[in-house]
Structure 1
Amino acid sequence: MTGPLKDDATPRPVRIAVGLWLAIAVFVLFVTAGLWFQRGQVQELTRWTSGQVTSFLTTLTVIAVLFAAAYAWLTRLFLRRRNWARIALSAIAVLHMVWLLFLGVSAANLVTLLLICVAIVFTWQARTAQWFAEVRDE
């Protein structure tokens, strides 16, 4: 089976980066969905009204969907060797990290931060850069 990710010419660091970016997108959506199921606990911890909790969770959901969609779209372009997508992925990731730090420390946020850091490392590895350069050489 061939394709952009199954191609033998796609280096391992690129495949790992792609997997990490997509894992981040899915993880962010699952964490956000989980918060909706823990709505009562959120209300207890914050002492907010039901309407305030709903507004907060709605805002988190919209932002999570935007991040997930950006990661998915940019990862697809990254696989098509669009160098600007690699830059945009990193910029979105930095913005996402700032957002997570703004929200506060939690196990899910720490896991997300770790995944983002590792994804950035694989996105900018020398072998990945060489893979992008091969397109310009052809």
Structure 2
Amino acid sequence: MNEAPRSVRIAVGLWLAIAVFVLFTTAGLWFQRGEVQRLTNWSSGQVTSFLATLSAVALIFVVAYALLTRLFLRRRNWARIALSFIAIIHMIWILFVGISASNLVTLLLICAAIVFTWQARTAQWLAEVREQ
């Protein structure tokens, strides 16, 4: 990563920050079970089912971001496309789940990561591999 341009290093940092942030916010929801139950008037089983579903989906996104970021760092252009595709799916998922402060932060991080992932200097860095 030392030879990677600044835009690539920032993009990688943002993708990994998204993964970590999603992991911690999802784990935090489990500690707020009572509050979720109070706000929704759901039974304990419904809250557990809801949190389990959220956790499973979050884990899928976390693993996808981690693996694709690693491949992006290895200069795989398709990983950049896949990261963007997964990010768009993640944004749509957030809109279906509902907007909260943590979801807004996630959306902002995703937007910033996409911007740095698709900067001209990043594209040039990826193209250098194809030229060799």
Q: TM-score scaled to structure 1, two decimals?
A: 0.95
Task: Please report how far the alpha carbon of residue 40 of structure 1 lies from its aligned counterpart in structure 2 after TM superposition.
Answer: 0.2
- What per-residue deviation string (whole Å, max 9, x for no partner) do you get for residues 54-98 of structure 1? 000000000011000000000000000000000000000000000
> 1:28 is aligned with what amino acid?
V
Measure how far apart 1:10 and its partner are: 0.6
Local SS of the residue matching 1:73: helix
1:22 to 16, 23, 31: 16
State the 1:105 CA deviation: 1.2
Residue 64 of structure 2: aligned partner: 70
Which letter maps to 2:101? A
One-letter amino acid of the structure 1 residue matched with residue 87 of structure 2: A
What do residues 113-135 of structure 1 show as CA deviations (whole Å, max 9, x unaligned)?
00000000000000000000100
Matches within 5 A, 1:1-138: 5=1, 7=2, 9-138=3-132
Q: Deviating runs (4+, > 6 A) in structure 1? A: none
Task: Output the TM-score relative to the length of structure 2.
Answer: 0.99
Q: For structure 2, which runs of at least 5 residues remain unmatched after alignment?
A: none
Output the CA distance in 1 between the equivalents of 2:102 and 2:96. Answer: 14
Whole-angstrom CA distance in 1 between matches of 2:97 and 2:104: 11
> Superposition RMSD on alpha carbons, in Å?
0.4
Alignment-mate amino acid for residue 31 of structure 2: F
The percent identity for this pair of structures is 77
Unpaired runs of 5+ residues, structure 1, are none
- Give the length in aligned residue pairs: 132
